[in-house]
Chain A
Amino acid sequence: MATHPPDTGAWASRMIRNTLGLAAWTAAWVASVALAAFGPGVFWNQQPVPTMLAIAFSVLIGVGMLFANKRNLQGLDELQRTIQLQAMAWSLGAGLVGGTAWSLFDRHDLVAVEAEIAHLVAFMAVVYVAGCVAGVLRYR
């Protein structure tokens, strides 16, 4: 008769909890950034004090997101951490090289749009997600 190995489902449930926690912190951070970006024009007529408070709030939520990300990474297994490391390496490298090139294009007026940090964030996010997908496919 088949015997099953000891089931330690605690790891799996802890990983799900960490992932959901990270998703919640990320959503909160995105919302806080949106508030800091659009709040001055939409809600409080460009007054500096609420704007500063909104930015400070966004930084606080961002710090929470960083710790949630650290907790999530520590809870992954070694292959998942390898995939994350490779995706983050691609994202960082592409962000550095691509961001610098984009900034130079802007400085020498070779592009019609103005280079903004949001472009870099979006580019790095796309590279990171592509890196994660590539890693999952590589070890499938």
Chain B
Amino acid sequence: MKNRLKVLRAERDWTQADLALALEVSRQTVNAIETGKYDPSLPLAFRLARLFGLPIEDIFHDQGQV
């Protein structure tokens, strides 16, 4: 699954550490999601969506999706 996390974070000038603290996860987890090494659970994806004020589908994209 691909995501726009890095772009959205950069637009707000947030560091990975800022985002990790807001989501109550480790910085490693934020980095792993950004690099596509780890797909977050649905609750964490919803937390991200709430934090950025966007629908989930504006942040995450299924790689099989056209």
A5 x B32 contact (CB < 8 A): no
* Size class of the A contact interface (CB-based, 8 Å): 20 to 34
A48 at the interface (CB under 8 A from B): no
Smallest CB gap from A2: residue in B: B13
A81 to chain B, nearest CB (A): 10
A1-30 Cβ-contact flags toward B at 8 Å (1 or 0): 011111111111000000000000000000
- Report if A5-B19 is in contact (Cβ < 8 Å); known contacts: A78-B40, A79-B38, A140-B31: yes
- A residues near B18, Cβ cutoff 8 Å: 4-5, 7
- Report if A80-B29 is in contact (Cβ < 8 Å); known contacts: A2-B12, A138-B37: yes
- B residues near A2, Cβ cutoff 8 Å: 12-14
Query: A137 to B32, alpha carbons, bound, how many Å?
Result: 11
* Interface positions of B from 17 to 50, Cβ below 8 Å from A: 18-19, 21-22, 24-26, 28-29, 31-32, 37-38, 40-41, 44
B54 at the interface (CB under 8 A from A): no
Query: A138 to B29, alpha carbons, bound, how many Å?
Result: 12
Smallest CB gap from B40: residue in A: A78
B38 x A11 contact (CB < 8 A): no
B21 x A77 contact (CB < 8 A): no
A80 to chain B, nearest CB (A): 6
Query: A138 to B32, alpha carbons, bound, how many Å?
Result: 9
Query: A2 to B15, alpha carbons, bound, how many Å?
Result: 11
B38 x A139 contact (CB < 8 A): yes
Q: Which 5 A-B pairs have the closest CB atoms?
A: A2-B13, A5-B22, A11-B24, A77-B25, A79-B29
**Complex A-B: 20 CB contacts under 8 Å:** A2-B14, A5-B18, A5-B21, A5-B22, A7-B18, A7-B21, A8-B22, A8-B24, A9-B21, A11-B25, A77-B26, A78-B41, A79-B28, A79-B29, A79-B38, A80-B28, A82-B38, A138-B37, A140-B28, A140-B32
Chain A residues within CB distance 8 Å of chain B = 2-12, 77-80, 82, 136, 138-140
